[in-house]
Amino acid sequence: MTAVNTEFAWAALGGDPALTERVSTVVRDGALKARLPVRELARACVATCALAAAELGARRAERADVPGVRVDDGAVATALVSERHLLVDGRAPVAFAPLSRFWRTADGWVRTHANYPHHRERLLSALRLPEDPASVAAALAERSSREVEDAVYGAGGLAVALRTPGEWARHEQGIEVAARPLVERQRPGGGRARRPTPLSGSPLLPAVGLRVLDLTRVIAGPVATRTLALLGADVLRIDSPQLPELVDQHTDTGFGKRSAKLDLGTDGRTFEELLAAADVVVTGYRPGALDRFGLSPEALAERRPGLVVAQLSAWGAYGPWAERRGFDSLVQVATGVAAIEGSGQEPGALPAQALDHGTGYLLAAAVLRSLTEQLTDGGTRFVRLALARTAGWLLDGRAAGEAGNAAHDGAGAAAYDGPDAWLAERDSELGRLRYALPPVSFAGGPVDWARPPRPWGTDGARWA
């Protein structure tokens, strides 16, 4: 079994093992309760990100010692469900659309995802049904889960059959994912060592002066870039005008960033101008989906040597499912997480979209560590993560996680009494916001984003 802890995640990033001694933890009983070691996974991902930020900040500030990192289970548990804590003028967002749910099939269960209008239309088209939950339930009850999965994916929609961990381990995609490291790192060459302006002042912002092109959607990728914005980076999110983002989802993950619309098919010149001054590009679309625009890691690095390219996907950039769309809820179903968290009579879910959030913090950590390495020897860096691989880490560590829970939940643990201590409010152009504070914390570092989210697509496609 692989331990679900900071040491394992930090090693996956190539970090100095001695630095994990800089991490301290406030353990809170009751945070992120689950059968699987979700609390340990979330804690490790956030701690690794904070440590990577502290390390980069120390190097840029020319400090001999890396600042201490403090991880509080309460802050982590609150941040991992940030989308549920968001209020806009007192209004709570809708998490899932009516057709995004579990459905009983003739031989088991299937989960669909239809939050976006185009996904809903493809789902209904594949099933040849009207938008009526009762009709969908009746039709799916007569079909096998694998048949539904194949039909919906064939139509460009999203549906995944429930599998056990053993079934996923024998699945061709599961085998491919398990063979990969938690964080894939490559150094293809090209690019000089970085010499950014040394840091000074307070708070310590490790990424200040760095420019990040954010080509991500939904949760994991935007969480990563939201974290880089917290740390001082100029993050510019780029979206196609033809693919509007869900407003509340964009609000939750838009803190500290700017948001612009840009058609990559018709305005490649503007993108090239942005790329020419970028330090980091983060992508969260299906592997290969952006290649036709010249946005593969290799093509980006050829035009901008010394770039850090960070890629995120649901299933990994390999295997028969490489080009499939996916979301946290669907990855839980395919990999066996939902089967473990279920009641025995029906499938369940993790207490948070922990694959999304956890992978997001790991992705930010991978970017930060790449930037630290570049201070010494330059070079282009590619990093790649997949939700399914994070799920494998969670599943592989379940025995060690149970032991960890037993060790931490004793008299020395504080209680998690709810999220109030880690929520804040502020005004914005979108209205009065209540939101979860960032869980990434290190001595001298920022405690909140410098600015609230901007309305979707209202900024110019240019650097600040």
* φ, ψ for residue 184, nearest 5 deg: -85, 130
Q: What is the pLDDT of residue 193?
A: 66
pLDDT higher than 90, residue 126: no
| Sequence-ordered list of residues with C-beta below 8 angstroms from that of 68, at least 6 positions apart, any chain | 22, 23, 24, 54, 442, 443
68 or 192, greater pLDDT: 68
Strands 234-239, 414-415: parallel, antiparallel or unpaired by DSSP?
Answer: unpaired
> Which of 121, 182, 117, 114 is CA-nearest to residue 327?
114
The label of the residue with tokens 């969260």 reads 284
Q: What is the pLDDT of residue 399?
A: 60
pLDDT tens for 409-461 read: 334 678 899 999 999 999 999 999 999 999 999 999 999 999 999 999 999 99
Q: What is the pLDDT of residue 279?
A: 96
pLDDT tens for 171-220 read: 999 999 999 999 999 998 766 666 667 787 779 999 999 999 999 998 99
**Helices (DSSP H) in 295-409: which residue ranges?**
297-303, 328-335, 337-341, 354-377, 387-396, 398-408
Instruction: In whole angstroms, give the CA distance from residue 311 to residue 300.
Output: 12
Is the Cβ–Cβ distance between 437 and 448 less than 8 Å?
yes
Q: Which two tokens stand for residue 327?
A: 């979301």
Q: What is the pLDDT of residue 404?
A: 42
Is the Cβ–Cβ distance between 337 and 391 less than 8 Å?
yes
Find the radius of gyration of the CA atoms of the chain: 21
pLDDT higher than 60, residue 339: yes
Mean pLDDT along residues 315-336: 96
Instruction: In whole angstroms, give the CA distance from residue 162 to residue 336.
Output: 7
Q: What is the pLDDT of residue 95?
A: 74
Mean pLDDT along residues 122-140: 89
Task: Report the share of the chain in percent with pLDDT over 70.
Answer: 95
pLDDT tens for 253-307 read: 999 999 999 999 888 999 999 999 999 999 998 888 888 898 999 999 999 999 9
pLDDT higher than 50, residue 359: yes
Is the Cβ–Cβ distance between 182 and 12 less than 8 Å?
yes
Mean pLDDT along residues 374-384: 94
| 196 burial type by CB count under 10 A (0-12 exposed, 13-18 middle, 19+ buried) | middle
| 3-state class (DSSP) for residue 262 | coil
| Sequence-ordered list of residues with C-beta below 8 angstroms from that of 316, at least 6 positions apart, any chain | 173, 176, 177, 180, 287, 322, 386, 388, 389
233-239 contacts at long range (C-beta below 8 A, 24 or more positions apart): 233/207, 233/208, 233/280, 234/209, 234/210, 234/258, 234/463, 234/464, 236/211, 236/212, 236/260, 236/274, 236/459, 236/461, 236/463, 238/213, 238/214, 238/262, 238/264, 238/271, 238/274, 238/461, 239/456, 239/457
pLDDT tens for 24-65 read: 999 999 999 999 999 999 999 999 999 999 999 999 999 999
Instruction: In whole angstroms, give the CA distance from residue 387 to residue 314.
Output: 5
